[in-house]
C-alpha cells in the first residue's frame, strides 16, 4: 500500500489573488502582503512609529540606570567615561527592546483596521 503525503498547504491558499490591506484598505497582490495582511508601507510606518517610542523607552531606561548608578554604586571620578559608555549602551539596548515590544503590540492590537477608511475610487 502506497501512502500519499499530503500537499503542503500555505496560508496564502485561503485568499484570492488580490487582497485588501487591513491597515490602509488598499488592494494589493497577495504576494505583497504578509500573513497578517499588512502591506509593505503599513509595516514601514508601524516600524517608524515603534522606533520613535522605542527611543523614548530607551531614554527612560537609561535614566533609571543612571539614577541607580548615581545612588547605589556612586562612581568615582576615575571611570566617568566607562559609566557614560555603560549608560549609552543601556539607552541603546532599551531602545531596541522597547521598539520590538511596541511593534509587537501594534501588530497584535491592529487598531488601524477598525479605524481605516476605504480609499475613494
Cα separation of 98 and 93, whole Å?
A: 9
The answer to whether 98 touches 64, Cβ cutoff 8 Å, is no
pLDDT higher than 80, residue 117: no
Q: Using one digit for the tens of pLDDT, what is the confidence trace for 18-59?
A: 988 888 889 999 889 998 889 999 999 999 999 999 999 999
Measured distance between the N- and C-terminal CA atoms of the chain, rounded to whole angstroms: 57
Q: Is residue 1 part of a domain?
A: no
What is the domain count for the chain?
Answer: 1
Q: Is residue 93 part of a domain?
A: yes
Q: Is residue 24 part of a domain?
A: yes
Q: Where do we find the cell 485561503?
A: 14
Per cent of the chain over pLDDT 70 is: 86
Amino acid at each position: 500500500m502506497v501512502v500519499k503525503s499530503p500537499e503542503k498547504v500555505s496560508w496564502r491558499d485561503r485568499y484570492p489573488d488580490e487582497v485588501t490591506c487591513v491597515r490602509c484598505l488598499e488592494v494589493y497582490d497577495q504576494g505583497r502582503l504578509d500573513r497578517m495582511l499588512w502591506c509593505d508601507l503599513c509595516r514601514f510606518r508601524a516600524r517608524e512609529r515603534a522606533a520613535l517610542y522605542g527611543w523614548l523607552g530607551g531614554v527612560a531606561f537609561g535614566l533609571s540606570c543612571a539614577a541607580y548608578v548615581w545612588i547605589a554604586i556612586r562612581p568615582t571620578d576615575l571611570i566617568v567615561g566607562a559609566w557614560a559608555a555603560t549608560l549609552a549602551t543601556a539607552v541603546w539596548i532599551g531602545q531596541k527592546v522597547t521598539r520590538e515590544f511596541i511593534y509587537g503590540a501594534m501588530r497584535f492590537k491592529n487598531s488601524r483596521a477598525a479605524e481605516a477608511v476605504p480609499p475613494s475610487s
